[in-house]
Structure 1
Amino acid sequence: MAKGGILPLVLAAALDPNHWRPSFGVQGQDVSSHQGNVDWASQWNQGSRFAYVKASEGNYYLNENFSQQYNGSRNVGMLRGSYHFAIPNWSSGADQARYFIANGGAWAADGATLPPVLDFEFNPYEGRTIGGFYFGDTCYDMSPSQLASWVRDFGNTVRSLIGRYPVIYTNTAWWNHCTGDAPGFGEYPLWVARYPSSPTNDAGPLPSSWSRYSMWQYSSTGPFAGDSNIWNGSYADLGAFARNGVPSAAFQAISGLR
């Protein structure tokens, strides 16, 4: 994602609606204020069935297009959720979790709301001082143990507020480098980012906490507005994930036991 809110960034190449897509799963996308008011009917017609919308960053920024994007995607029939862009050296994980949940990150088991996401990745302000605050290096000038503790602080706070852990969005190379491939995050669903240069169904290696990913962000240039993603499962599984995180196959197994 890497879409910061307080400093304009260079946008990705022009959107390519004919960009290749993985040949499995459910297609979806994620957007931020950079996309402005999205034509959601057009996105639906192109095949997008779920959307994640940036809600917040740090504890200082809210997406001014959040309502149009979050409600608009739902109004055309998509499942939708929200994400928070972490700036871990700005304030504590608990502080940013509370800010997020109070400003668009809340979740309800209504079958239409996807669980909230922690966007934890490369520092988009690497080496910059803005408003007197130095943002640090790509790892935010924090040690692997500090970053892992920050994620747990964020995740535990979200769970205490809404009853479930957030999804972690990250890039494997960055996660391994900056957290030291921190273990113990298997309870958090994984959304992995990898942009192959040619068509493939391979999302690449995953951090050691996960043997499977829930979502894969495979392109920042198409086919959809914002970033393009695939849900690693069926539409029924995606609906179950929205309701309570239990895949439909697990529901069926539980019913069979009963």
Structure 2
Amino acid sequence: MSRKWIPVLVASTLAVNLLGTPPAAGAATSPDGGGRAIAGGTPAVRQSAVSALASPPAGYTIQGIDVSSHDHNLGPINWAGVVAEGNKFVYIKATEGNDYLNPFFNGDYTAAKAAGLFVGAYHFARPDGRDPVGEANYFIDNMRWAKDSRTLVPMLDFEWPYWAGAPTCYGLTPAELTNWVRVFTDQVKARIGRPMMIYTNTNFWNPCTNSDASFGGLLLDIAGYTTSRPPLPAGWATETIWQYAPGDPSQPGNYSKNVLKGDYASLTRLTSPEVSIAPPGPRMPRRPIAPKLR
């Protein structure tokens, strides 16, 4: 994010208008695309003053961040510094599709826990591959789910495709997309015994799922880079996490900023020490998917 001194009101308007807009055909790929959890935010939004919000929104006291491989552009993450800034939790990108593992995931996972953070893994969904069971199994096999009271429920990053020329809603119908999400999340629950969280943006979820309201029983991480909480997708009455500002991997320590709705005890309830991982179920045939920029 470039520290441009533009009025927050203008920045908020930009965020509302642009966040969640699908990439235009032939448009340049976002420099931090490749599955970074930014809910399809465009470079224009990422460079607004909204990104510069340093303090959590009013009423939220538990802070956290999310990171991916792009947050290593300037070197290792200073996890002690992350804790010193008041953060209590982090979500780290683990996988994308059924063949990409973030090369920094294992190191970040270990270091973040050693620093005292609650740690969760997220998977960037590739429904265009039409293999929800395979993706779920790949994620589970690599996400290091642990019965240690420090591991957060896993998260599905479900947002606009990030590559140039990508079809709207991955080229799938609302019914196909909602079925993909249902199969993926059901498979995760079947294997770890715990419902997962969905990270999305209302401007993606509602048009691409035809405002499907049947997922409200799952936890929600809502992305909205505005000064007040954005409208929630169809089906959800409340959020668990709000990602209120994106980070900028070209600046040291500038990570995507999150807040938890609730107190510290609410955060501990997002762990699940009493369950274990079941073996994978049958794998659905898959077809090749577009190359990834990670």
TM bucket (normalised to shorter chain) is: 0.7 to 0.9
Is residue 2:217 matched to residue 1:203?
A: no
Q: State the shift of 1:213 in Å.
A: 0.3
1:20 aligns with one of 45, 48, 55: 55
Partner of 1:241: 270
- Taking structure 2 as the reference length, the TM-score comes to 0.72
Q: Tell whether the 8 Å contact from 1:159 to 1:166 is kept in structure 2 after alignment.
A: yes
When structure 1 is superposed on structure 2, of 95-104 and 16-25 the one drifting more is 16-25
Give the Cα separation in 1 of the matches to 2:253 and 2:229. Answer: 18
Superposition deviation, residue 244 in structure 1: 6.9
Report the CA distance between 1:10 and its aligned residue. 6.5
- AA partner of residue 147 (structure 1): L
> Which string of whole-angstrom CA distances, capped at 9 and with x for unpartnered residues, describes residues 123-175 of structure 1?
11141xxxxxxxx4130000111000000010011011101121000001110
Match of 2:245 in 1: 219
CA shift for structure 1 position 54:
0.2
Query: Which residue of structure 2 lines up, in the alignment, with residue 83 of structure 1?
Result: 122
Q: 3-state DSSP class of the match of 1:195? A: coil
Q: What does 1:144-159 correspond to in 2, within 5 Å?
A: 144-159=174-189
Structure 1 position 221, deviation (Å): 3.1
Aligned residue for 1:243, secondary structure, equals: coil
Instruction: Give the Cα–Cα distance (whole angstroms) in 2 for the partners of residues 46 and 193 of structure 1.
Output: 21
Displaced runs of 4+ in structure 1, greater than 6 A?
14-18
Q: CA deviation at 1:3?
A: 3.7
Letter in 2 for 1:234: D
- Alpha carbons of structure 1 residues 5 and 241: separation in structure 2 relative to 1, 3 Å: closer
> 2:154 maps to which residue?
116
Cα gap change, 1:190 to 1:5, in 2 (>3 Å)? closer
SS at match of 1:237: helix
SS in 2 for 1:89: helix
**Unaligned runs of at least 5 residues, structure 2:** 1-19, 21-31, 37-41, 275-294
How many Å apart are 1:188 and its aligned residue?
Answer: 1.0
Q: What is the alpha-carbon distance in structure 1 between the residues aligned to residue 192 and residue 33 of structure 2? A: 25
2:87 is the alignment partner of 1:58: no
Residue 231, structure 1, aligned to residue 267, structure 2:
no
Aligned length: 230
Tell me how far apart the structure 2 counterparts of residues 74 and 67 of structure 1 sit (CA, whole Å): 11
Superposed displacement of residue 20, structure 1: 3.5
- TM-score for the superposition, normalised by structure 1: 0.81
Look up the equivalent residue of 1:171 and give its one-letter code.
N
**Contact preservation (8 Å) 2:53, 2:245:** no
Over the matched positions of the two proteins, sequence identity in percent amounts to: 39
Deviations 1:203-230 (Å, cap 9, x if unpaired)?
1211121101000000013796321100
Q: Equivalent of 1:170, from 200, 213, 218?
A: 200
RMSD over aligned Cα, in angstroms? 2.7
Secondary structure, counterpart of 1:176 in structure 2: helix
